[in-house]
Amino acid sequence: MNEKVYLEKASAPAAPPAKTAKPLPDDALILIPMRNTVLFPGVISPITVGRVASVAAAQEAVRSEKRVGFLLQRDPQTNDVKPEHLHWVGTAGQVVRYITGAEGTHHLVVQGQSRFRVLEFLSGYPYLAARVQFIEQKEELTPEVEARFLQLKAQAVEAIQLLPNAPEELTVVVQGMTSPALLADMVANLLDIKNEDKQDLLETFDLKRRLDKVLEHLSERVGVLRISKEIGDKTKKEFDERQREHVLREQMRQIQKELGEGDDTAAELEELKKAIDEAGMPEDVLKHAVKELKRLQRMGEGSAEGSMLRTYLEWLAELPWRDSAPGEIDIARARKILDEDHFGLDKIKRRILEHLAVRKLNPEGKSPILCFVGPPGVGKTSLGQSIARATGRKFQRIALGGVHDEAEIRGHRRTYIGALPGNVIQAIRRAESRTCVLMFDEVDKLGQGGFHGDPSSALLEVLDPEQNSHFRDNYLAIDFDLSKVMFITTANMLDTIPGPLRDRMEIIQLPGYTEEEKLEIAQRYLVKRQLEANGLKAEQVAISPETIRAIIAEYTREAGVRNLEREIGAVLRNVAMRIAEGVSKKIEIKPGDLHAILGARRFENELAQRTSVPGVATGLAWTSVGGDILFIEASRTPGTGKLILTGQLGEVMKESAQAALTLAKSYVRESLEKTDIHIHVPAGATPKDGPSAGVAMFLALVSLLAGKPVRSDVAMTGEISLRGLVLPIGGVKEKTLAALRAGIKTVMLPKRNEKDLEDVPPEARQKLEFVFLEKVDDAIRTAIGELPSPGERKAA
Ligand SMILES: Nc1ncnc2c1ncn2[C@@H]1O[C@H](COP(=O)(O)OP(=O)(O)OP(=O)(O)O)[C@@H](O)[C@H]1O
Ligand SMILES: [Mg+2]
C-alpha cells in the first residue's frame, strides 16, 4: 500500500548513477545498511535511502542489475557505518522499483530473496560491499515441520483477524501459502517485535527452530491481544504429533467456517461465469476467459493466486466488449450543442465540425486526432465534453501530466503484485463504452521515457489507427479494440509535445479571450453556473456588466476565464451569505462593492508604479500560459564595467542583453568603465519564444543611462541586432492580448511582424495603438522621447 503512494508521487528517476572504479567480484554483494528495518526473504518492502553511500549503492544496483544485501545496524543512530557496526547476516534482494521523490528522497521497493552471511568486507567502493555466502534453504516437509507450519498458519490467521488494522486479504494470502519458510519469514516481518529479535529470527537458519521461535513470538502476541490463550499454551507444551495435527486441522476448519468460506465461493464463481458469458466478448477472448475460469475453480478457495485471477476475470467481464455504436453524427445538432455550450470560438467550432463531418463521411478513415492547445481555462476540456455531448458519446479524461512510466498507460503484467490495467483500459471501463470520447490532458507534460519505458511511445500506440484496433494492455494480455474511441488531446504549449505524437494530431490553437469576450462568457455562462452552485436564484442578485468588467480588469489577469469564474463565485458566496442572514431579499453588486468582498484590487496600479522611475521597461512575453507582460529592470552601481544578469534569463537572452548594452552605450555616448550594470527579469514568466526582449532591455538601459523613464502605457517586444535593427518575434496574438489585459495603450512590434496583426482580434486592434519598429531609434522616439544630451544629464 505504501508502494502505491510512492509511485504516484514519483518524479523522474535519478540522474545517471555514479561510475565505480573497479567491478565487483562475482561472489560479492553491494550492501545497504538499515537503521530500523530487517528485510526478510520473500517480503516486498518500501525502503527510503538517504545516505550518500546508500544512494550510490542503490543506483549502482539498478544500473548493473545486481542484487543488494541489506544489513541491520547494531545502533540505528550510527551514521558513518563501518563493518563493526553491522550484523553480519542479512537478506539479499532485488530492487524492483527506484523512485526519486519530490524532495530529492530516494525510495526503493525491494523484494527480499535469500539469507546471506558476510565473509569479508571489501574496500575501495563508494558504498559498502562484501563477499558473502548465501544460506541455502532446504525445504523438506518433514512431519515435524509440517505440524508447526499448520499451527503457524492457523495462528497467523487468527492474529490477523484480531488485529484491528490488518487488511483482510492477508488472511487469504496466508492460507494459500505452501512454503513453511516463506510463511515463517512473512510472519516474522509482520511481527511487532524488537529489531534485535527479528535479526535473531533471520539468523536462525534451521527451519524447525525458526518456526518454533516465530510461533513463540506470535503466540505471545496473540496472548497480549487476549485471545485464544489456548493455542498459545499448546505451542509451549510437548504434544504427540498426531494429536497436535488433529487439533490444528480442527481449528483451521473452524476458522474457515467463521470466515464464511466454502459455500458462497461456488455462488460467486457462478456469478462470474454468467458475467463472462454475457459480456459479449469476441470468441477467442471468451475461450481464454472460460479457460481461466476453469483454472480458478480448480484452484479452490482463498489462495492468493486465486484471488488475483478472480480480479482479472472480473476486469474482463466488465469491459464494454459490445459496440454500443452511437447513432450517426448529426452535424446540425452538433453545431447547436457546441454553440449552446460555448460563446464565440467560431473558427474553432468550425474546425471541430469539419473534423466531425469527415468522420461521419468516412468512419473507417484514419482521421487525425484533435489537439487543443492553449493557456489554462480557455475551454479545452469543456470543448471536449461538448463534443462528447454533441455526438452522443460518453466522456472520460486521462491526465498525462507527470506520467513517467509506460505502465501507467499500458498497465502492469499480472505477475506484478497489485497489478492493474493501465489508465486507458480503466477509462474505457469507466465510460462503459468503446465508442466514447477519451481526452488525454496535458500531452505536453508527458514525462520523458527512461527508467520504465517510454510513455509517449505507449501513447502513440494507443492513438495510432494502424495499431489501436488490437491494443494490448499488459495486465489484460489480450487484444482490445480501441479503434472506435474518439481521442482528443490537450496541451498548454506545442513545443514540448513529443514530435511523433504531434505529427498525428490536428492542432487547434485557443489563444485566449479579450475583455469583451470574457464579459460575454461571464454573463452567459459563468454567473449562471455560480448562481446555481451557491443556491441562488437569478432574481436575488443583480450583477451589472460594469461590475464584471471591474472583476476582469482588476482582479484577474489571465488568458482564460478560470479565475474570473472563481472570483464571481466568491462574490456570489458573499451574496448568498447575506441573503441567508436575511439582510435583504435582493442584492445588487456594484463595482464599488468589490473592494469589501474581494479585497484590494490586484492588478491596478502596477504599471504606473513600476515604470515611474528610469530604468524599467514593460516587455511582452509569450509563455506557456498565454501572453504576459514583464517588467525589465536595469540599475547601475559603481564597479568595473560588468554586466550582471538575474532572474529568468535563458542563455539566448543573455546574448541579447549584451547586445542591448553595447547598443545603449553608443546611444547615450557614455563609457561605463567605472559602473556595473545590472539587468533583472523577474521570475514567474519563462518566455517560450527565446530572445524577444531585446528592445525592452535596450529601452530599460537607455532609460537608465539617460535618466528618463519609459512611458508606462507602452509595451514592447522585438529582438535587436548590434546595428540597431529590430528583428521579428513570435506570439504576436498572445502578447497583444496580454497587453490589452494589462491596460497598455501602445504596443511596439517589429515592422516585420506587421502581417501577424490580422490574427489579432478586432477588439484588440481597435483599442490598442500599434507602432512598428524598423530601428531601435523608433522605439526611443515613441517610448522615451527626446534624449537629454550628456551635458544636460550632468546638470540635472
Ligand atoms: N467560450 C466559452 N464559453 C463558455 N464557457 C467557457 C468558454 N471558455 C471557457 N469556458 C469555461 O471556462 C471554464 C474553464 O475551461 P476548461 O476547464 O475547459 O479549461 P481548459 O482549457 O481545459 O484549462 P486547463 O488547461 O487548465 O485544463 C469551464 O468552466 C468552461 O466551461
Ligand atoms: Mg482542462
Is 90 exceeded by the pLDDT of residue 770? yes
Q: Name the DSSP class of 751.
A: G
C-beta of residue 499 within 8 angstroms of C-beta of residue 456: no
Grid coordinates representing 408 are: 501507467
CA 327 to CA 334: how far, in whole Å? 12
Report the nearest-CA residue for atom 26 of ligand 1. 376
The continuous run of DSSP H or E covering 58 comes out as: helix 52-64
The number of the ligand 1 atom at minimal distance from the alpha carbon of 375 is 25
In this structure, of 110-124, 428-442, 656-670, the range with the lowest mean pLDDT score is 656-670
Q: For position 504, what pLDDT does the model report?
A: 85
Phi, psi of 35 (to 5 degrees): -75, -40
| Strand bridging mode 675-681 / 643-647 | parallel
CA gyration radius, the chain: 35
The number of the ligand 1 atom at minimal distance from the alpha carbon of 382 is 18
Average pLDDT of the residues in 167-174: 81
Grid coordinates representing 787 are: 534624449
pLDDT digits (tens, 9 = 90+) for 48-58: 888 889 989 99
| CA–centroid distance, residue 493 to ligand 2 (Å) | 13
Is 50 exceeded by the pLDDT of residue 525? yes
C-beta of residue 261 within 8 angstroms of C-beta of residue 302: yes
The number of the ligand 1 atom at minimal distance from the alpha carbon of 517 is 1
C-beta of residue 564 within 8 angstroms of C-beta of residue 576: no
- Cβ-defined contacts of 279-283 (< 8 Å, 24+): 279/316, 279/317, 279/318, 279/319, 279/321, 279/322, 280/321, 280/322, 281/316, 281/321, 282/321
Q: For position 259, what pLDDT does the model report?
A: 66
Average pLDDT of the residues in 121-142: 87
CA dihedral of 559, 565, 568, 572, whole degrees rounded to 10: 180
Is 50 exceeded by the pLDDT of residue 11? no
HEC string of 127-152?
CEEEEEEECCCCCCCCHHHHHHHHHH
Residue 7: pLDDT band with limits 50, 70, 90: very low
| CA–centroid distance, residue 688 to ligand 1 (Å) | 23
Sign, CA dihedral 406-412-413-416, equals positive
Average pLDDT of the residues in 541-566: 89
CA 73 to CA 84: how far, in whole Å? 9
CA 691 to CA 59: how far, in whole Å? 38
Is 70 exceeded by the pLDDT of residue 449? no
**Which residue out of 382, 510, 562 has the highest number of ligand 1 atoms within 8 Å of its CB and is therefore the one to mutate?**
382
Task: Identify the nearest ligand to the CA of 562 by its number.
Answer: 1
| CA–centroid distance, residue 401 to ligand 2 (Å) | 11
| CA–centroid distance, residue 393 to ligand 2 (Å) | 18
* Closest-CA residue to 374 (of 365, 383, 366): 383
Concerning whether 367 is annotated as a catalytic residue, the answer is: no
Is 80 exceeded by the pLDDT of residue 249? no
Is 70 exceeded by the pLDDT of residue 243? no
Residue 396: pLDDT band with limits 50, 70, 90: very high
Q: For position 291, what pLDDT does the model report?
A: 92
| CA–centroid distance, residue 443 to ligand 2 (Å) | 11
In this structure, of 79-83, 235-239, 287-291, the range with the lowest mean pLDDT score is 235-239
Concerning whether 229 is annotated as a catalytic residue, the answer is: no
CA 530 to CA 543: how far, in whole Å? 12
**Which residue out of 371, 492, 525 has the highest number of ligand 1 atoms within 8 Å of its CB and is therefore the one to mutate?**
525
Q: Name the DSSP class of 626.
A: E
CA 309 to CA 292: how far, in whole Å? 8
CA 482 to CA 467: how far, in whole Å? 9
Q: For position 420, what pLDDT does the model report?
A: 86
| CA–centroid distance, residue 380 to ligand 1 (Å) | 6
Q: For position 2, what pLDDT does the model report?
A: 37
Task: Identify the nearest ligand to the CA of 340 by its number.
Answer: 1
**Which residue out of 561, 564, 566 has the highest number of ligand 1 atoms within 8 Å of its CB and is therefore the one to mutate?**
561
Q: For position 440, what pLDDT does the model report?
A: 94
C-beta of residue 765 within 8 angstroms of C-beta of residue 757: yes
Is 70 exceeded by the pLDDT of residue 652? no
| Strand bridging mode 395-399 / 369-373 | unpaired
Q: Give, in order, the Cα–Cα distances in Å from 396 to each of 392, 423, 610.
A: 13, 11, 45
In this structure, of 95-99, 236-240, 400-404, the range with the lowest mean pLDDT score is 236-240
CA 706 to CA 432: how far, in whole Å? 69
pLDDT digits (tens, 9 = 90+) for 775-784: 999 999 999 9
Q: For position 210, what pLDDT does the model report?
A: 92
Percentage of the chain modeled with pLDDT above 70 = 85
Catalytic residue among 656, 692, 703, 712: 692
Is 70 exceeded by the pLDDT of residue 681? yes
**Mean residue pLDDT across the chain:** 84
pLDDT digits (tens, 9 = 90+) for 257-276: 666 665 556 777 888 889 99
Q: For position 168, what pLDDT does the model report?
A: 75
Phi, psi of 318 (to 5 degrees): -90, -10
Average pLDDT of the residues in 382-411: 89
Average pLDDT of the residues in 689-714: 88
Q: Give, in order, the Cα–Cα distances in Å from 695 to each of 544, 613, 716, 718.
A: 41, 18, 7, 5
Report the nearest-CA residue for atom 4 of ligand 1. 342
| CA–centroid distance, residue 494 to ligand 1 (Å) | 19
| CA–centroid distance, residue 402 to ligand 2 (Å) | 15
pLDDT digits (tens, 9 = 90+) for 571-597: 999 888 888 888 788 888 888 888 888
Report the nearest-CA residue for atom 14 of ligand 1. 377
Q: For position 229, what pLDDT does the model report?
A: 39
The number of the ligand 1 atom at minimal distance from the alpha carbon of 441 is 27
Task: Identify the nearest ligand to the CA of 491 by its number.
Answer: 1
pLDDT digits (tens, 9 = 90+) for 299-349: 765 566 777 888 899 999 999 988 766 667 889 999 999 999 999 899 899
CA 257 to CA 249: how far, in whole Å? 12
C-beta of residue 456 within 8 angstroms of C-beta of residue 408: no
Average pLDDT of the residues in 222-242: 51
HEC string of 475-544?
CCCCEECCCCCEEEEEECCCCCCCHHHHHCEEEEECCCCCHHHHHHHHHHHHHHHHHHHCCCCHHHEEEC
pLDDT digits (tens, 9 = 90+) for 172-209: 888 888 889 999 998 898 888 889 999 999 999 989 89
Is 50 exceeded by the pLDDT of residue 458? yes
Q: For position 227, what pLDDT does the model report?
A: 45
Please report how many Cα atoms fall inside a 13 Å half-sphere around the Cα of residue 493, on the Cβ side. 15
Phi, psi of 398 (to 5 degrees): -130, 125
The number of the ligand 1 atom at minimal distance from the alpha carbon of 378 is 21
Is 90 exceeded by the pLDDT of residue 647? no
Report the nearest-CA residue for atom 16 of ligand 1. 379
C-beta of residue 16 within 8 angstroms of C-beta of residue 62: no
C-beta of residue 412 within 8 angstroms of C-beta of residue 474: yes
* 3 state SS of 586: coil
Edge to edge, the sheet with strand 486-491 lists 395-399, 437-441, 486-491, 369-373, 505-509
Q: Name the DSSP class of 759.
A: G
Catalytic residue among 153, 234, 380, 735: 735
In this structure, of 537-546, 559-568, 624-633, 717-726, the range with the lowest mean pLDDT score is 624-633
Is 70 exceeded by the pLDDT of residue 244? no
Residue 649: pLDDT band with limits 50, 70, 90: low
The number of the ligand 1 atom at minimal distance from the alpha carbon of 524 is 4
Report the nearest-CA residue for atom 5 of ligand 1. 342
pLDDT digits (tens, 9 = 90+) for 354-369: 988 988 888 777 778 9
In this structure, of 234-248, 463-477, 491-505, the range with the lowest mean pLDDT score is 234-248
Q: For position 434, what pLDDT does the model report?
A: 87
Is 60 exceeded by the pLDDT of residue 13? no
Average pLDDT of the residues in 724-731: 91
Is 70 exceeded by the pLDDT of residue 570? yes
Ligand 1 contacts (CB < 6 A) are: 342-345, 376-382, 492, 521, 525, 560-562, 565
Grid coordinates representing 587 are: 442584492
C-beta of residue 306 within 8 angstroms of C-beta of residue 299: yes
